[in-house]
Chains A and B, each alone.
Chain A
Amino acid sequence: MNNNLIQYILGIADNSLILGQRLGELCGHGPSIETDIALTNISLDLLGQTRSYFQYVAQLQGGDANEDTVAFLRLEREYKNVLLVEQPNTDFGYSIARQFLYDVYHLALLEELQDSKDEQLAAIATKSIKEVLYHVRFSSDWIRRLGDGTEESHNRIQTAINDLWIFTDELFHQTDADKVMVAEGIGVDVAMLKENYYKKVTAILEEATLQIPEVEYFQKGGKQGIHSEHMGYILTEMQYMQRTYPNMTW
């Protein structure tokens, strides 16, 4: 069993899982029918991608593992998603800002992961990228509409960007497992994506007449399993059925 590979895959897949779960909360609660459908469609894409990764993890783990045990039966510290994706849907501006800051990174990551030496990861990336292109387009479009919209929408999206900015640097950190996988030609060297990421994000924020936040301190921890206070609530809701009725299926 290749533990570094498993940890590496979880580092990618858990982002999709937790962001998908967060977006799923908006089902039936979006500000308009169109945005409601869009956000839940994006959620579905992310959860579909998560399934592909988790099926692969379960195969590597062997034994009784399956995609559900990977998704639902881990402890909080065993989830390796970044802090950004677990941040709450405070308002529509926060949901869009979180999505945008993640989408730009997600696309850049998948573009590199397509060339992974691990064929299964490369295949998942090649498939996912087609879906994520639509996500980036949707969230960038809304950043522009809110930023360059009314005074109210401008102020609220600016507040969301300011608050979430401190979570962006973590996207480019590497765990020990990441470093081993990069050395083996399987993983993506995320540090290399950083400069271009901020360039792209800045260009769209400027188009949207928004200010680029200036912060000196960035928050991190998710990749090591040290999560924010929100994570426990997400897992409680997400794991409830499997914990209450072990091995249940729909």
Chain B
Amino acid sequence: MTEQLIPIDQELLDILETVSDPEIPVLTIVDMGVVRSAKIENQKVYVEITSTYSGCPAMDTIADDIKAAFKQKGYEASVAVILKPAWTTDWITSKGRAALEKYGIAAPLSEHADKEALLGNKKLVKCPQCGSQQTKVLSQFGSTACKALFQCEDCKEPFDYFKCLK
């Protein structure tokens, strides 16, 4: 997977990194890959974000949180939601993937491995609790659209798996 870095001015980046995904609080919106651009023009900040899934109810909250974070630093910010290019799980940074795993959510596999795991053909998703690969899919859809529900056959813990979206 290729890490995709968006060139953003360090001062703006520092502020954006204080905003986290409301549904996965350990993940900043930058590590999630939803921030597509940020710039200052005439004292005003312009941020472009993209949604993970079309129906993601977190987008409005994220936009409000971004505005609030910039306001605290004395900036007025305007946030636009863009559709193109469409978000992919490849844009989650390696720091973001590590944060997911630590939080108890298995990070997305490659497209092919993802399909095999979700159809129950192969055991490929590692349990974020004990590291075992003896895991099974309970439900292709989980607590939010971006996740599936798995269970570890060794430690028996159920856990969320962040589905690959490409």
Contacts and interface: CB of A to CB of B under 8 A. Distances in A.
Interface size class of A (residues with CB under 8 A): 20 to 34
Interface in B53-72: 53-57
B129 to A, nearest CB: 21
A48 B86 contact: no
A48 B141 contact: no
B149 A46 contact: no
Given A41-B144, A126-B85, 12 more contacts: A34-B139, A37-B143, A38-B141, A45-B55, A46-B55, A48-B51, A48-B53, A49-B54, A123-B84, A130-B88, A134-B141, A134-B163
Main SS class of interface, B: loop
Given A45-B145, A48-B53, A48-B56, A38 B139 contact: yes
Contacts of B141: 34, 37-38, 41-42, 134, 138
B145 A131 contact: yes
B159 to A, nearest CB: 15
A113 B137 CA distance: 32
Nearest to A127: B86
A178 B144 CA distance: 35
Given A41-B145, A131-B145, A49 B55 contact: yes
A46 B138 CA distance: 23
Contacts of A44: 53, 55, 57, 145
Interface string A16-42: 000000000000000001100110011
